[in-house]
Amino acid sequence: MSFSDLGLNEKTIQAITDLGYEEPTTVQKDVIPSILEGKDIFTIAPAACGKTCAYIFPLIDIISKNNTQNILIITADEKESVNVSDKFAIFNKYHQINDEDTTGANVIIATPSLLLDNIKENTIDISNINILVVDDINLIKKNRQLANLEKILELLPAEKQNIVFTTRRSKETQDTLDKILKTPAEIKIDKNKESEVTEVNQNEPIMPSSSEKPQKEKRSRYQKRVQNQDKKAIDLAHRYKIFGKKTPSFLLDDTTLVTIAD
């Protein structure tokens, strides 16, 4: 099976092909079509099986078709937040970003604690989220962030698409899962698929070096975006040490799709 068999947009597939990704992993084969169909999903999958790209690829497609989508991705730790943001930037590169559009999609990527701090400081509004992704609820539990996640759930609209991943089923997370999911499609990936990304040659994408000179047009876009950044959000991101050159607009600009990588 190829990525084109999963219903992805040609521009998304072009970006995937550029990185040498030849075939989808098992979790990508199962999850991508379900997300594109708008289903609620609960996926149990082992580490390094291609889970992150399993939701990034279809979300990029969904946003390209409807720029009024508001997406919240909750990760278990700050490192994974930046990883998700970087991958959005890389695989979105062939989709157009309209600098004049001030009603574009919002993609918020954060840990539960960071998100709650943003909400308290009125730098983020999550009342109109269309799609919620919880990236490893079991690890969120291990990081003692389950209570913060439940506070966030109370602020989200009832009607939305919910996508939840975990490495294993846990009794401690079941009550929280019941609050997120009603009748989800459950997808379970065998443990022997751990590290499948290596087997199918899905190497970790490398962000362009900050020393590389961007093209004139893209530099102009970036300068325009910087002017719109929220100073409070910048300070908050620095405080959590997750704001770096790889993601210059991470969690800052609420009028654009994703970070421009280069």
Q: Tell me, yes or no, whether 169 lies in a domain.
A: yes
Domain of 199 in residue numbering reads as 3-239
CB 74 within 8 A of CB 140: yes
pTM: 0.78
The confidence score (pLDDT) of residue 206 equals: 57
Q: Tell me, yes or no, whether 163 lies in a domain.
A: yes
Q: Tell me, yes or no, whether 245 lies in a domain.
A: no
Q: Tell me, yes or no, whether 260 lies in a domain.
A: no
Q: Tell me, yes or no, whether 67 lies in a domain.
A: yes
Res. 132: pLDDT tops 50: yes
CB burial readout 149-158, b (16+ within 10 A) else e: beebbeebee
Q: Tell me, yes or no, whether 249 lies in a domain.
A: no
Instruction: Tell me the CATH number at 54.
Output: 3.40.50.300
Q: Tell me, yes or no, whether 247 lies in a domain.
A: no
Over residues 141-190, the pLDDT tens digits come to 999 999 999 999 999 999 999 999 999 888 999 999 999 998 888 999 98
Over residues 106-115, the pLDDT tens digits come to 788 888 988 8
The confidence score (pLDDT) of residue 205 equals: 63
Q: Which has the minimum average pLDDT: 23-37, 149-163, 189-203?
A: 189-203
Binned at pLDDT 50, 70 and 90, residue 91 comes out as confident
Q: Looking at the 3D structure of the chain, how many domains does it have? A: 1
Find, among 148, 144, 109, 101, the residue nearest to 129 by Cα. Answer: 109
Res. 251: pLDDT tops 60: no
Give the percent of the chain with pLDDT over 90: 37
Over residues 70-82, the pLDDT tens digits come to 889 999 987 788 7
Q: Tell me, yes or no, whether 256 lies in a domain.
A: no
Q: What are phi and psi of 161, to 5 degrees?
A: -85, 135
Q: Which residues pair with 162 in a beta bridge?
A: 132
